[in-house]
Amino acid sequence: MSANSHTADDGVDTHVAPHRRLQPTGMTAVRWTRGFWADRFRLCHDTILPRMTCASGCR
């Protein structure tokens, strides 16, 4: 599938497929608020990413 096309390699137009039941969700339309994935997201945001940044040249 190309980046600018809604047509898969098999020729099916996934943008207007009549039998499609699921719709993609925009990146800003949802948030992790509680539970397993919220905990993992918070850990990554608050601990892992800052440490990775610091390891690559933090002073």
Q: Tell me, what amino acid is at 14?
A: T
The parts of the chain modelled with pLDDT lower than 70 are 1-17, 58-59
pLDDT recorded at residue 1: 44
pLDDT recorded at residue 22: 79
Domain residue spans in the chain? 31-59
pLDDT recorded at residue 56: 73
pLDDT recorded at residue 46: 93
pLDDT recorded at residue 20: 74
Beta strands in the chain (DSSP E): none
Q: Which residues contact 38 (CB under 8 A, 6 or more apart)?
A: 32
Alpha-carbon distance of 53 to 46, in angstroms, equals 12
Residue 13, helix vs strand vs coil: strand
Q: Which residues contact 1 (CB under 8 A, 6 or more apart)?
A: 7, 8, 9, 14
